[in-house]
Amino acid sequence: MKVTTSEMQTRVRQELGMPSRLRHVALLTASIIVGTGVGALLLTEPVLPQRTQWAFAGIVLVAVAWAAYATWVLMCRRVLFGRQRVAASRMACLFTVLAFGGSIAVRDQIGIGAVITSGGLFVIAASLLLAARRHVSRLAALERDIAPVAGHSGADR
């Protein structure tokens, strides 16, 4: 597979470009807002039912995880070669599996619609994980094709 210099520059710009960074800044901001708001409710409302307190604690943990992910991506000053997509989709799969399990556990109170919705979200997250892995495989193949020409191996990263 031949790759031109301009094609490679375009790929690098897509990963390091301003739109990508702005999306991660938006994710960081939203996760901080959600985590802080729900955390404040959790701390200031001790009369909440036990199950609600557990749900709020879970929401705070998910928000912290997304904030950590966004911070990691924004702090990296090099191309991640799609690893950020794999990490994000793994997190999405984990969180949707937890939501799916929780919705099954309380389906009598919340209805079958919530179970179907969370199951559907898991299917979407799993398909994004497969797409991210394929993307990383394609980039690895490109790197293998370029490495002999550039005179280095991928091991020096």
| Same-domain check for residues 100 and 157 | yes
Q: Is the pLDDT of residue 157 over 50?
A: no
pLDDT of residue 134: 92
Q: Where a domain ends, among 49, 79, 109?
A: 79
How many domains, in total, are found in the chain? Answer: 2
Q: Are 56 and 48 in contact (CB under 8 A)?
A: yes
Q: Where are the alpha helices (DSSP H) in 17-153?
A: 18-44, 50-75, 83-105, 107-110, 112-150
Q: What are the structure tokens assigned to 63, written together?
A: 């928000």
Q: Where a domain ends, among 79, 98, 119?
A: 79
pTM reported for the whole predicted model:
0.77
How many Cβ atoms sit within 10 Å of the Cβ of residue 30?
Answer: 14
Q: Are 142 and 1 in contact (CB under 8 A)?
A: yes
pLDDT of residue 156: 47
pLDDT tens for each residue of 91-136: 999 999 999 999 999 899 989 999 999 999 999 999 999 999 998 8
Residue numbers of the domain that contains 44? 1-79
